[in-house]
């Protein structure tokens, strides 16, 4: 072993996991009212600990602000255009297997199929918000209650594989028609680009421009983004982190978060993957299907030697870890992570500290907003985390 190589054996990793659990894995505090900025800074921001806050955004009647999708449409107008994420099964922005046909023409044999692992992004479609509501409510579960968790907790290995293609290989579907697909596409409004203020400015006036006690505690200025989220139990955001201090407020419905502290980065099997995007394609005049287009994929000569776009992402779904021997054997370090399940109800706000990993879904049709404040990078937390995330496993 090289003198410049750092090494941690199983006992060291187990001890580190115990230390992380003792430091961060405690019951999530529930505050009945928003704290003052000093208390929030001292008890939650500085130690980098999540908390739930009741009554964080009051209405004009001194009760928590609530808002359903129907209320949103009443405010903005049903003809308002929004850009929504569309996937065949609700799993976008995650690692999936795709199938690519490899030509064996020089040997005059049939094509063979090769599997590839890609980070696949959702297809984006601009539609009227009333159409979004119709599509959202037609893509909910039709399964029995006891079957719901089977779909929601699917690992990426369980997800259906789709063909990998070039843009020019197929005729794309310009307007999504749910009836043309074998299964209704799953829609999710999750723009993450300050969409409340940029795409729905009329609606933004219904919410405070900032969360004052938090802004004073973070001391990094006004919110960098305020985002609106609308989806149901079919949509899942896979485990990821943000370089933001995150305050998520549920206006109606219920969100399910699975949180992992930043130090779990060495246990979550984060790796580099080529990227692609879902694309709806026409099978014939009356039916549509899905394919995946690899980013930077092209048959043009100037693309031949170009490296594919890549992103660092977490492959395993931590929700499937318990009782799933395949996940345990394929991702052995995952058992040392510290997942914390948090249900956020209507009228509650969850504080997710910067760099905390989170997997997110809904238990029903849910409307929420979140405030992103810039994190501070001139801190020991960032120095420590950045070192951990750049460690490499010895079998890589």
Residues 232-245: tens digit of each pLDDT: 999 999 999 999 99
Instruction: Give yes or no for a contact between 334 and 234, defined as CB atoms under 8 angstroms apart.
Output: no
Angle among Cα 144, 150, 155 to the nearest 5 degrees reads 160
Q: Say what the pLDDT of residue 322 is.
A: 63
Give whole-number Cα distances, 310 to 110, 271, 272, 323, in Å. 30, 10, 6, 32
159 falls in which pLDDT band (50, 70, 90)?
Answer: confident
Q: Say what the pLDDT of residue 306 is.
A: 59
Q: Say what the pLDDT of residue 348 is.
A: 98
Query: Which of helix, strand or coil describes residue 21?
Result: helix
Residues 322-333: tens digit of each pLDDT: 666 677 788 989
* Sign of the C-alpha dihedral computed for residues 146, 149, 155 and 158 taken in this order: positive
Residues 192-224: tens digit of each pLDDT: 899 999 999 999 999 999 999 999 999 999 999
Q: Say what the pLDDT of residue 170 is.
A: 55
Element at 101 (helix H, strand E): strand 94-102
Calpha distance 77→315 (Å, rounded): 39
5 falls in which pLDDT band (50, 70, 90)?
Answer: confident
Decide which of 154 and 370 is more confident: 370
Kindly give the interhelix angle for 69-76 and 129-138, rounded to the nearest 10 degrees. 170
Output the six-digit token pair for 43. Answer: 């008890």
Q: Say what the pLDDT of residue 63 is.
A: 87
pLDDT at 301 over 50: no
Q: Say what the pLDDT of residue 377 is.
A: 92
Q: Say what the pLDDT of residue 181 is.
A: 79
149 falls in which pLDDT band (50, 70, 90)?
Answer: very low
- Of the listed ranges 115-129, 132-146, 148-162, 278-292, the one predicted with least confidence: 148-162
Angle among Cα 133, 134, 137 to the nearest 5 degrees reads 80
Q: Say what the pLDDT of residue 61 is.
A: 75
Q: Say what the pLDDT of residue 7 is.
A: 82
Percent of the chain with pLDDT over 70: 82
Residues 340-395: tens digit of each pLDDT: 999 999 999 999 999 999 999 999 999 999 999 999 998 888 898 988 888 877 66
Q: Say what the pLDDT of residue 394 is.
A: 65
**Average pLDDT for the chain:** 86
pLDDT at 157 over 50: no
151 falls in which pLDDT band (50, 70, 90)?
Answer: very low
Calpha distance 89→317 (Å, rounded): 15
Average pLDDT over residues 249-266: 96
* Partners of 117 in the β-ladder: 97
Output the six-digit token pair for 17. Answer: 């996991």
Residues 62-88: tens digit of each pLDDT: 789 999 999 999 999 999 999 999 999
Calpha distance 355→383 (Å, rounded): 12
Q: Say what the pLDDT of residue 116 is.
A: 86
φ/ψ bin of 380: left (φ > 0), alpha (ψ from -120 to 50), beta (otherwise): alpha
Q: What is the DSSP string of 209-274?
A: SS-HHHHHHH-S-S-SEEEEEEE-TT-EEEEE--SEEEEEEEEESEEEEEEE-GGGGGGTTEEEEE
């Amino acid at each position: 072993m090289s003198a410049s190589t750092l090494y941690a054996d199983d006992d060291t990793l187990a001890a580190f996991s115990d230390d992380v659990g003792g430091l961060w894995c405690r019951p999530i505090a529930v505050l009945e009212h928003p704290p003052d900025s000093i208390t929030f800074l001292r008890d939650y921001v500085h130690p980098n600990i999540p908390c739930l806050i009741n009554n964080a955004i009051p209405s004009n009647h001194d009760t928590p602000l609530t808002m359903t999708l129907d209320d949103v449409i009443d405010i903005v107008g049903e003809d308002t255009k929004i850009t929504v994420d569309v996937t065949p099964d609700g799993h976008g922005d995650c690692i999936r297997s795709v199938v690519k046909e490899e030509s064996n023409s020089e040997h005059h044999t049939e094509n063979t199929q090769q599997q590839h692992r890609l980070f696949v992004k959702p297809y984006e479609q601009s539609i009227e918000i009333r159409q979004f509501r119709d599509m959202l409510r037609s893509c909910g579960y039709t399964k029995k209650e006891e079957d719901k968790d089977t779909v929601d907790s699917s690992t990426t290995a369980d997800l259906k594989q789709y063909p990998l293609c070039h843009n020019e290989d197929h005729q794309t579907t310009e307007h999504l028609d749910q009836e043309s697909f074998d299964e209704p596409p799953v829609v999710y409004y999750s723009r993450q680009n300050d969409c409340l203020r940029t795409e729905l400015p009329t609606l933004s006036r219904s919410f405070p421009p900032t969360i004052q006690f938090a802004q004073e505690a973070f001391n990094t200025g006004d919110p960098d983004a305020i985002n609106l989220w609308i989806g149901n139990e079919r949509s899942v955001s896979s485990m990821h982190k943000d370089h933001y201090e995150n305050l998520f407020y549920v206006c109606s419905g219920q969100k399910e978060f699975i949180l992992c502290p930043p130090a779990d980065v060495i246990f979550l099997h984060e790796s580099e993957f080529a990227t692609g995007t879902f694309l709806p394609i026409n099978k014939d005049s009356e039916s549509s299907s899905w394919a995946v287009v690899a980013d930077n994929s092209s048959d043009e000569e100037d693309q031949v030697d170009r490296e594919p776009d890549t992103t660092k992402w977490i492959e395993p779904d931590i929700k499937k870890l318990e009782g799933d021997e395949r996940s345990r054997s394929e991702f052995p370090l995952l058992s040392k992570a510290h997942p914390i399940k948090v249900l956020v109800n209507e009228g509650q706000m969850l504080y997710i500290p910067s760099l905390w990993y989170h997997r997110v879904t809904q238990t029903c049709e849910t409307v929420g907003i979140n405030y992103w404040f810039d994190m501070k990078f001139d801190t020991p937390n960032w120095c420590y985390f950045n070192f951990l995330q750049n460690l490499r496993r010895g079998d890589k």
